[in-house]
Each structure stands twice: as structure tokens, then as C-alpha cells.
Amino acid sequence: MHGTPINREHCRRLDADDPLARFRGRFAASKENRIFLDANSMGKMAATVPERMSRFWTEAWVDLGRQGWNQFEWLERPAQIGAAFAPLIGANPEDVLACDSTTINLYKLLTYAWRTRNSGSVILTEQGNFPTDLYVAQGLPGVIVGDPTVKTCETRAALVEAIGPDTAVVYLSHADYRTSERWDMADINARAHAVGAVTVWDLSHSAGAVPVDLMGTDADYAVGCGYKYLCSGPGGPAYLWVHPRHGDAAWPTIAGWMGHEDVFAFAKQYGPLPGAARHGAGTPLVIANEVAWCAAEIWQEVDPRQLWDKHRALGDLLIALLEQECGALGVEVNSPRDYDERGGHIGFSHPGAGPVVEALLAANVVGSFRRPNAIRFGLGALYISHEDIWEAVARLRHILETESWRDPKFQKVSV
């Protein structure tokens, strides 16, 4: 594939051999067949959502009201969705719970990891961690008992260097939200355990795209976003995972009725459920869960190995085409070329990145912009074809060649 230039026919042949091609039709088609290279921001909608939710409004809410608790599995959904995601992250199904937002779940598990630590006094993280992850940690000193120190390293090398006897928790995003750089999870888990520390991983930019193996790499805790690669819907439920060895180590930080061992007993005294379920806290996000369930039903049918293979092929193709078609037009790929070192999106730079993303949107290619000059294409391997990649790069090339991105209408850059 690297000897002669890649062409559209080549991409079509790859699509013809794609064992996941059948999943494309399981997601809703958008107007003008927009190409969504935006799975790092918002995954596509399962095609079943409108019909299922139509029924939900009438049958579950209007006609049944609170009876939905009994007749629609509203209480079971958090564990069911978690179980559907589990193979994508190398987890046992019973250790994953869909609930709340990523931020709330980061708070729950980072504080839990801290409270049940073996030793050390430092929560160790890197400057490149996603801002909300950093903020959650910054909020803990003076609030959570045990006087945690948050140490934020400027580089990955510095972080690896800093793991030591004073480390209590290593707290990282598995893949960087800007560059897509992926940590070697097994290596970091081993280094942390060697000094008695535990790890808390944010999987938002890796799970559902590239291999994650929480049990196999011996991780301790993880959380992730539901609405990116996992397609749970805007503001939909995030998820959390607790290694079974830590499941019963302490009460959850936020002790709520959904984490109670007998929720409808209305007991006056708290007593936690076993394992991850104790972190359930408040009433499940019933409506949002029902939407997420539409995607989870698809994930239940997906072989993770096929998903990862296809994501790898899409990413390799995108990098090759960006260089072949746009390399002479100012595009530079920033994400790692080595598949094992990158997450769900491919990042590349261009001096006009913001307006270019707006011009792409006008050409029905959805990417995203991050200051100062980065463009991200997030790859949803269940619904993106190889030919989509060809077509998106062709449109990008046209925008760069014609310099149409300099049009004043593209200078107002959206988030």
C-alpha cells in the first residue's frame, strides 16, 4: 500500500472486506451524508433511538409513570450498560457501572482510591490530562482527609520519573485529548504497584476505539465518557470501573440510595452494595440510560478485536492520506504513527486550523478544532468506512488548495 499512491478504489476494496461493515446501517444517517470524524466529541446515534424513545414517552412515562421502575428495568440499566461496555475495556461485566458524568465519576473514584491507598501522600498526574480531570484533583486538598498533595508533571518522562515511594495514586487519561498519545497502561500500572501506588485511568479518548485491557494490565480504577466513541448520546451516562480487589475496601465517597445494599428497604442506616455498584449514588439517569441502551445493544454484538483492527486500519489510512494528499499543503500529523501509542483520534496541525474546520463542516465533514492550530478527526469504527476517509481528505485537500478556508464566513470559529 505504500509503494503506489492510495486511491479511492483501494479504499473501496478495504470496505468490501470489512467484517464490521454491517454495523454502519445500525446508526442513523445524517442529512447530506455528512462524514462524522468527530467520535472524540460526539458519537453517532443508534438508529433505534427515535422509535424506542417514542415508545418510552408513551408506554413508560405517560401510561405507567413510576411503574416504569418495575416494568422497564430502569434500575437495572446502569449495570446492563456497564456490562455491554465491559469487553471493550477488558473488564468483568459486573465491575462496570454506567452512571452520572465523567467528572462526578472521576471524583468518586479518585477520592476512593486516595482513601483506600496503601501508602504515599501524592496524587500524581500530568499537565496534559484533560482539564476537568485536573480540576477534580485540584479540588481535593483541604477537602478530603489525609492531606493529599497533587503533583502535576509537565512531561510524560517527568511523570514516569516521579513515580516513587511518596506516590499514592497515579491519575491519567489513557489517551491525550489533543495529541491522542496513549500511555502504556501495563507499564504504568506496574510502576505504580512497584511503589505501592494505585492507578486511576480516564478512558474517554481510548475506550471504544483502541484496545483497553484493565484486567490484563492490572489497573486499579477507571472511568470514561459515554457520549464519545461509545455513542451514548449528548450528556449521556458516563461509566466507572473498580478492580474487584478494591470493590469492598470502603464505603463509596458519595453514599446514596442506589448504592445501598437494599435500595427499596428505605433503611435509616447506610450499608453498601458489593463492588462497583456501591458507587451508584442517586437515581439512575433513566431517560439518558434508555438512549444509551440503544448503543449498548449494538456494542453487545461487536467483537472488540475486529473493532480495534478496523480502527487501526482507518487511522493508518488517514495518516497516509493526510500526508499523500495534504502534506504539501501545510498539514502535519501530530499524533503518534505507531498504533500502540495513539488513542481514538488523529490530530494534525495546519496554520488555518480553526477556519479549516469550519470550511470542512460546510463541506459536510465534521472534525474538531483545538487551539492554537490543531484539527482532530475522531474515528468511530462502527460507522466510518475507508472510503469516508478518502472522501474527507479529498474535501480537505480541495479546501486547502483553493484556500476557501480564508473566506470571512469561516473565521468565526466554534467550539
Q: Please list the active-site residues.
A: 130, 202, 227-228, 376
For residue 107, the one-letter residue type is Y
The whole-angstrom separation of Cα 130 and Cα 205 is 10
Provide, rounded to whole angstroms, the least separation between the CB of residue 387 and a second copy. 20
Site for a second copy in 196-225 (CB under 8 A): 225
The whole-angstrom separation of Cα 55 and Cα 42 is 24
User: What pairing do the DSSP bridges indicate for beta strands 167-173 and 198-202?
Assistant: parallel
Q: Does 90 bind a second copy (CB under 8 A)?
A: no
Q: Does 29 bind a second copy (CB under 8 A)?
A: yes
Q: Does 372 bind a second copy (CB under 8 A)?
A: no
The whole-angstrom separation of Cα 222 and Cα 242 is 7
Any residues with CB less than 8 A from the CB of 257 and at least 6 apart, and which?
Answer: 263, 282, 283
Provide, rounded to whole angstroms, the least separation between the CB of residue 220 and a second copy. 19
Candidates 6, 23, 26, 68: give the one binding a second copy (CB under 8 A).
68
Candidates 7, 118, 138, 411: give the one binding a second copy (CB under 8 A).
138
Site for a second copy in 241-270 (CB under 8 A): 251-260, 264, 266-270
Given the rule CB under 8 A, which of 14-22, 50-58, 298-306, 317-325 is the region that contacts a second copy?
50-58
Is the CA virtual torsion 292, 218, 189, 181 positive or negative? negative
Provide, rounded to whole angstroms, the least separation between the CB of residue 234 and a second copy. 4
Q: Does 236 bind a second copy (CB under 8 A)?
A: yes
The whole-angstrom separation of Cα 366 and Cα 42 is 10
**For every residue of 250-313, which 3-state class applies, written as one string?**
CCCCCCCHHHECCHHHCCCCCCECCHHHHHHCCCCCHHHHHHHHHHHHHHCCCCHHHHHHHHHH
Candidates 11, 86, 88, 136: give the one binding a second copy (CB under 8 A).
136
- Nearest-Å Rg of the Cα atoms of the chain is 22
Three cell numbers written together for 333: 500529523
Given the rule CB under 8 A, which of 62-70, 193-201, 205-213, 389-397 is the region that contacts a second copy?
62-70
User: Which of 243, 271, 275 shows the shortest CA–CA distance to 256?
Assistant: 271
Candidates 216, 235, 274, 351: give the one binding a second copy (CB under 8 A).
235
Candidates 7, 118, 127, 149: give the one binding a second copy (CB under 8 A).
127
Phi first, then psi, for residue 198 (nearest 5°) are -120, 165
Q: Does 104 bind a second copy (CB under 8 A)?
A: yes
Secondary structure class of 221 (helix, strand, coil): strand
Provide, rounded to whole angstroms, the least separation between the CB of residue 120 and a second copy. 18
Site for a second copy in 305-364 (CB under 8 A): 361
For residue 336, the one-letter residue type is P
Q: Does 101 bind a second copy (CB under 8 A)?
A: yes
Q: Does 67 bind a second copy (CB under 8 A)?
A: yes
Candidates 15, 21, 53, 195: give the one binding a second copy (CB under 8 A).
53
Provide, rounded to whole angstroms, the least separation between the CB of residue 401 and a second copy. 25
Provide, rounded to whole angstroms, the least separation between the CB of residue 32 and a second copy. 8
